[in-house]
Chains A and B, each alone.
Chain A
């Protein structure tokens, strides 16, 4: 039986944006958005106003577009995560607190489980996303440096999940239990490879080891950045490859590919 859930958006609640406002949200210039409209990549709505037509984009249209377009989604996620003064994210991809993250994680689980290609492995993807996202909240509770919460988005047809936060980052967090950590690369290496015990009453800290174990045993890939260190991991890797990135972010940025 195929179940179709249709949601009718109340026009009064679906905010409308001008082309310049929409371009700001998408972190592109107006000319690019006009080009996308012309090419059909992202078509604007049109409202007659006298002899002319106003172009507009509804909030729902923007979120739907981003839910399908990996490059555009990556761009807004990166802008929010890496810029010193981030713009607000479209609501569908922003989890200001843990309860919203939990609800959206359940949605990811539902969407993956319903997909015939992923119904065997969906639980591993959800468990990894859960560990990374919950880490963001657990390690930054009451200590968010500027914007609290997590950017959380996925495109199943692209085989991608992105999670990011503007928290304290892995080095600052791990230094509390391992003060001799030299830099971001050493912190990432510890986070992904060393089992940290004897942290009572602090019991957190092994979620990224779990992520590593799952990635290396399955046909998944991971990119994870914190500070200036960027880690890459794929199936059968004995150790993660950690390099210095030209972009710096204080918090964490993760892309799971499946």
Chain B
């Protein structure tokens, strides 16, 4: 499954919006097969901050582990957000360049 993050918005900064985005996507996530990878594509996202990211990515990482793959994550705010979330939660994102 590929999630195009820009479909949730281009400026992803608040906790409320991150929580809402995850809730909206729950039905699709329920359909993911046991060994299927979940790819998140950051292409087109302008800004990401940790409040949004923590509500969306942290639960997904806990749910899918290494099967969660992040692509096109070169945006400086995306990199800085992922770095902080890894530090806070002691987790490691699977980022594919």
CA A113 to CA B75, docked complex, whole Å: 13
Known: A98-B16, A109-B46, A203-B54. A127 touches B88 (CB 8 A): no
Interface residues of A in 219-240 (CB under 8 A from B): none
Cα separation A214 to B75 with both chains bound (whole Å): 13
Are B83 and A213 neighbours in the complex by a CB distance under 8 Å? yes
Main secondary structure of the interface of B (DSSP, over half): helix
* Given A98-B16, A109-B46, A113-B46; A130-B80 close (CB under 8 Å): no
User: B77 to chain A: which residues have CB within 8 Å?
Assistant: 123-124, 126-127
Name B11's contact: one of A106, A128, A203 (CB within 8 Å).
A106
> Which of A21-29, A62-70, A87-95, A204-212 has 4 or more CB atoms under 8 Å from chain B?
A204-212
| Residues of chain B with a CB closer than 8 A to A121's CB | 76
A131 adjacent to chain B (CB < 8 Å): yes
Pair B88/A130 contact, Cβ less than 8 Å = no
Is A210 touching B49 in the complex (CB atoms < 8 A)? yes
Interface of A is mostly: helix
The listed residue (A113, A195, A214) touching B80 by CB distance below 8 A is A214
Q: Chain B 65-94 against A: per-residue CB contact (8 Å), 1 yes, 0 no?
A: 000000000011110110110011000000
Given A109, A134, A206, which contacts B47 in the complex, CB threshold below 8 Å? A109
Q: Bound complex: CA of A232 vs CA of B50, how far in Å?
A: 22
CB distance from A10 to the nearest CB of B (A): 29
Complex Cα–Cα for A120 and B46 (A): 11
Contact B88 A195 (CB under 8 A): yes
Of B15, B76, B78, the residue contacting A120 (CB under 8 A) is B76
Contact A124 B76 (CB under 8 A): yes
Contact of A209 among B16, B46, B78, B84 (CB under 8 A): B84
State whether A123 touches B15 (Cβ < 8 A).
Answer: no
Contacts of B80 in A (CB 8 A): 124, 127, 210, 213-214, 217
